[in-house]
Amino acid sequence: MDFQKALRPGAVVYFAGIKGTGMCALAELMFNAGVRVSGSDISEVFYTDAILRELGIPYFESFDPAHIQGPIDLLIHSAAWSPETNVELAEALKRGLPVLKYTDALGAYSAGFDSSGITGVHGKTTTTALAGTLIRGAGLPAQILTGSAVAGFNGHSTLNLGNKYFVAETCEYRRHFLSFHPKRIVLTAVESDHQDYFPTYKSIRDAFVEYGRLLPPGGALIYCADDPGAAEVAGILEKENRGLRFVPYGFCASGDFGITACDVQDEQTLMRVRGFPGEFRLRIPGRHTALDAAAALALTSLLVKTEFGNDEGGGENGWNEARRENVRKALEEFRGSKRRSEILGEAGGILFMDDYGHHPTAIKTTLEGLRAFYPRRRLVVSFMSHTYTRTAALLDQFAASFEKADVVFFHKIYASARELYHGGVTGKSLYEKTRALRGEVYYVDEPLDAAAPLEKILKPGDLFLSLGAGNNWPLGERLLAYFRGRDP
C-alpha cells in the first residue's frame, strides 16, 4: 500500500489499541496532519485517555467487528494484537482493508521525513525526550515521538515543531526498529536483554548491527563510547566501510561530545562538553542522564549543521551564541519524562519517586545517580522484576545492582504474555539472592501489601522509589496519599 496516501488530509485511519503510548503518539501526529483518526482499546484508563480526549479523537472502549465500518483507508494495530486475539483486526483483514502493525506504520511514517532513530537497551526514552527539548531550543522544524509522556511536551509523547525532521524512539524488541528509515541513529547501550527473543548477547548485538546497516552512505551513527556493546557495534559497522560517519559521545569519547566534567551541586548535575563553551545544568540525577544529554546534544548538533550551516553567522556548524544559549536554557529546564526518575510528590518529609528501570545496569545507574543527587536521604526501594526470562538470565546481576539502596522491598515477578518460562526462578529467588549480599531486604508478594510495613519504616528525610517495569508504581501513590493525610 502507499502509506503516504493515508497521510493526506481527510484520509481515514483507524487505530486498534489506540491507548498504547506509541499508538496514541502516532495517532496524534497523523491527526495534526489532517487525517481523520479514530480507534479502540480496552476500558482500563491510561494517561493517554486524557490526551485523546483533549485532541477530540473518538475511540471505543471495547473491540467489536461492528466498529470496522464505512470507508477506512488504513487500520493500524498495536503489536500486542494479532488476528487471532483481536476481532477488529480479523474483521479488517476479512474485508481486505490495508493493515499495518504499529512499528511498520512508524517506519512508513519516518520515510516521509529526514529521520533519526534513537535506540539502545537503556536510556532511549530520556535521550529522545532530551533531544526534543534541545531541538525545540535550537529552533529546528521537527517532530518528536517518545516512548513515554514528557512533562515539557505538555504531558504528551509527541512534540510537533515542523515537518522537515523526525526523531523517534525506536525499539529493538523483535527487531521492530528495522522498519524505520534513519539517516542518523543514536545508540545508547547494547547488552543482553529480552532473553525470550534474544537468547544470547551476540543475537541482540547483531540486531543493532543490522539496524545500523539501514543508514545510507553519509548517514551518522552517534554512539556511547562508554558502553562496550555500543562501541562494539560501531566498530563492526566501521570495518564494513559503508561510508558512514561515526560520532562518539560520553566520558570516554574523543571529539566534540566528550564529557570533560560532571559534578553534583545543590541537587543539580553540572557538566561540560568538549565542543561547547561554558557549563550545562541538569535537574535530573545521574551520570547516565548526563550521557543521555550528551547524546541529545550530538544529535541536535548534526541537525543544526544540516539546517543552519553557514547561515546566520553560525559558521559551518550552524551554531551561533543565541542558539547555544537557548539550548543551554532548554536543558536546564528539562523535567524528565513519565516513570523516569519522576517525582510524584513530597509528604511527611519523604520524597516519593517512580522509575521504569528494569535491567540491572539501569537499576545500578539510577540508584547511583539518586545517591549522589540526594546524599543525605535514606533510599527506600520497591522493586518488581519484569519477565521471568530476564530475571532468570540476569539473577546475579540483579541482586548486585541494589548496592546503593538502604532498604529494598521485592515483589513477585511481573509476568509477560509474550514469554514461555518453565524454570524455577521467582521474585522470592531474587529476594534471597539479594539478602545474601546486603542488609535490610524484605519480600512482600503483592506490591500494595507492602504499604502497611512501609508506613512504619519510612521517616522524614527518606526517598521512596518504586522501581521497575511491573505494576508496583501504585504503591508510591498509595504511600504518598497516606503521608499527605498525616501532614498538619
pLDDT in tens, 44-87: 888 899 999 999 999 999 999 999 988 999 999 998 888 999 99
Residue 199 has pLDDT above 70, yes or no: yes
Q: Which pLDDT does position 284 carry in this prediction?
A: 80
- In sign, the C-alpha dihedral spanning 328, 332, 338, 339 is positive
Q: Quick one: average pLDDT of 439-451?
A: 91
Residue 11 has pLDDT above 70, yes or no: yes
Q: Which pLDDT does position 337 carry in this prediction?
A: 62
Q: Which pLDDT does position 417 carry in this prediction?
A: 60
Provide the mean pLDDT of the chain: 90
Q: Which pLDDT does position 391 carry in this prediction?
A: 85
Q: Which pLDDT does position 63 carry in this prediction?
A: 96
Per-residue confidence band for 454, with pLDDT thresholds at 50, 70 and 90:
very high
Residues facing 262 on adjacent strands: 271
The boundaries of every CATH 3.40.50.720 domain in the chain are 3-102
Q: Which pLDDT does position 338 carry in this prediction?
A: 62
280 phi/psi in degrees, rounded to 5: -105, 145
- The CATH superfamily of 342-486 is Mur ligase, C-terminal domain (3.90.190.20)
Half-sphere exposure of 196 (CA within 13 A, CB side): 17
Give the whole-angstrom CA distance, residue 179 versus residue 192. 22
Task: Map 158-212 to HEC letters.
Answer: EEECCCCEEEEECCCHHHHHHHCCCCEEEECCCCCCCCCCCCCHHHHHHHHHHHH
Q: Which pLDDT does position 340 carry in this prediction?
A: 65
Q: Quick one: average pLDDT of 257-285?
A: 90
Residue 17: all three cell numbers together:
489499541
Residue 297: all three cell numbers together:
546534544
Residue 331 has pLDDT above 60, yes or no: yes
Q: Are 413 and 384 in contact (CB under 8 A)?
A: yes
Specify the range with the lowest mean pLDDT, choosing from 136-140, 240-244, 336-340.
336-340
Q: Which residues contact 28 (CB under 8 A, 6 or more apart)?
A: 51, 55, 57, 156, 157, 158
- In sign, the C-alpha dihedral spanning 284, 285, 290, 291 is negative
Q: Quick one: average pLDDT of 347-368?
A: 86
Q: Are 345 and 288 in contact (CB under 8 A)?
A: no
Q: Which pLDDT does position 191 carry in this prediction?
A: 86
Residue 166: all three cell numbers together:
523526525
Q: Which pLDDT does position 1 carry in this prediction?
A: 62
Of 421 and 220, which is predicted with more confidence?
220
Residue 169: other Cβ atoms inside 10 A: 27
Query: Which residue in this structure is represented by grid cell 496514541?
Result: 24
Per-residue confidence band for 229, with pLDDT thresholds at 50, 70 and 90:
very high
Q: Are 269 and 281 in contact (CB under 8 A)?
A: yes
- In sign, the C-alpha dihedral spanning 78, 80, 84, 87 is negative
Residue 310 has pLDDT above 80, yes or no: no
Per-residue confidence band for 421, with pLDDT thresholds at 50, 70 and 90:
low
Q: Are 354 and 465 in contact (CB under 8 A)?
A: yes
The boundaries of every CATH 3.40.1190.10 domain in the chain are 113-333
Give the whole-angstrom CA distance, residue 160 versus residue 132. 9
352: nearest Cα among 443, 457, 462, 213: 462
Looking at the whole model, is its pTM more than 0.85? no
Q: Quick one: average pLDDT of 338-345?
A: 74
Q: Which pLDDT does position 458 carry in this prediction?
A: 96
324 phi/psi in degrees, rounded to 5: -60, -45
| Span 370-408, pLDDT tens digits | 888 888 899 999 999 888 888 888 888 889 999 999 999
Q: Which pLDDT does position 150 carry in this prediction?
A: 87
Give the whole-angstrom CA distance, residue 74 versus residue 227. 40
Q: Quick one: average pLDDT of 229-244?
A: 97
Give the whole-angstrom CA distance, residue 322 versus residue 152. 21
Task: Map the chain to HEC letters.
Answer: CCHHHHHCCCCEEEEECCCCHHHHHHHHHHHHCCCEEEEECCCCCCHHHHHHHHHCCCEECCCCHHHCCCCCCEEEECCCCCCCCCHHHHHHHHCCCCEEEHHHHHHHHHCCCEEEEEECCCCHHHHHHHHHHHHHHHCCCEEEECCCCEHHHCCCCEEECCCCEEEEECCCHHHHHHHCCCCEEEECCCCCCCCCCCCCHHHHHHHHHHHHCCCCCCCEEEEECCCHHHHHHHHHHHHCCCCCEEEEEECCCCCCCEEEEEEEECCEEEEEECCCCCCEEECCCCHHHHHHHHHHHHHHHHHHHHHHCCCCCCCCCCCCHHHHHHHHHHHHHCCCECCCCEEEEEECCEEEEEECCCCHHHHHHHHHHHHHHCCCCCEEEEECCECHHHHHHCHHHHHHCCCCCCEEEECCCECCCCCCCCCCCCHHHHHHHHHCCCCCEEECCCHHHHHHHHHHHCCCCCEEEEECCCCCHHHHHHHHHHHHHHCC
342 phi/psi in degrees, rounded to 5: -80, 125
Q: Which pLDDT does position 81 carry in this prediction?
A: 87
In the sheet where 74-77 sits, what is the strand order?
A: 59-60, 36-40, 12-16, 74-77, 99-101
Domain made up of 113-333: CATH architecture: 3-Layer(aba) Sandwich (3.40)
Of 209 and 199, which is predicted with more confidence?
209
CA 373, chain centre distance (Å): 22
Query: Which residue in this structure is represented by grid cell 528501570?
Result: 357
Per-residue confidence band for 276, with pLDDT thresholds at 50, 70 and 90:
very high
Residue 27 has pLDDT above 60, yes or no: yes
The boundaries of every CATH 3.90.190.20 domain in the chain are 342-486
Per-residue confidence band for 4, with pLDDT thresholds at 50, 70 and 90:
confident
Q: Are 133 and 331 in contact (CB under 8 A)?
A: yes
| Span 79-125, pLDDT tens digits | 888 899 999 999 999 999 999 999 999 999 999 999 999 999 888 98
**CATH class name, domain 3-102:** alpha beta
